[in-house]
Amino acid sequence: MNLHARTLSTIRQLDQVEWFTRVGVNDTNNAIVLSSWEEATRSCESSDWEDLLLEAANQYCERLMERSPERFNQWNEIVGEVRPVIIPFVEKKTAKAIRTHQLPSIFLQTVQWDVLHICMEAEYADVYPPGFYAAQGFWYTKDHFPCGWEGVFPDGKLIIY
Task: Please state the domain extents for the chain.
Answer: 5-14+41-156
Confidence of residue 112 (pLDDT cuts 50, 70, 90): very high
Q: If you average pLDDT over residues 21-31, what whole number do you get?
A: 96
50-106 tens-digit pLDDT: 999 999 999 999 999 999 999 999 999 999 999 999 999 999 999 999 999 999 999
pLDDT over 80 at 26, yes or no = yes
What pLDDT is attached to residue 1?
Answer: 62
54 contact partners, CB below 8 Å, separation of at least 6: none
In whole angstroms, give the CA distance from residue 94 to residue 110: 11
In whole angstroms, give the CA distance from residue 119 to residue 16: 16
What pLDDT is attached to residue 54?
Answer: 97
In whole angstroms, give the CA distance from residue 83 to residue 112: 9
Beta carbons within 10 angstroms of residue 23's beta carbon = 20
**Residue 84, SS3?**
helix
* Four-point Cα dihedral 76, 52, 6, 68, nearest 10: 50
Number of H helices, E strands in the chain: 7, 3
Nearest C-alpha neighbor of 11 from the set 111, 113, 90 = 90
Burial of 80 (0-12, 13-18, 19+ CB in 10 A): exposed
Query: What is the DSSP secondary structure assignment for residue 146, as one 8-state letter?
Result: E
pTM score of the predicted model: 0.96
Query: What is the DSSP secondary structure assignment for residue 151, as one 8-state letter?
Result: S
Q: If you average pLDDT over residues 8-32, what whole number do you get?
A: 97
**Biggest CA pair distance of the chain:** 45
**How far, in whole angstroms, is CA 58 from its chain's centroid?**
14
Share of the chain above pLDDT 90, in %: 98
In whole angstroms, give the CA distance from residue 55 to residue 63: 12
Q: If you average pLDDT over residues 144-150, what whole number do you get?
A: 98
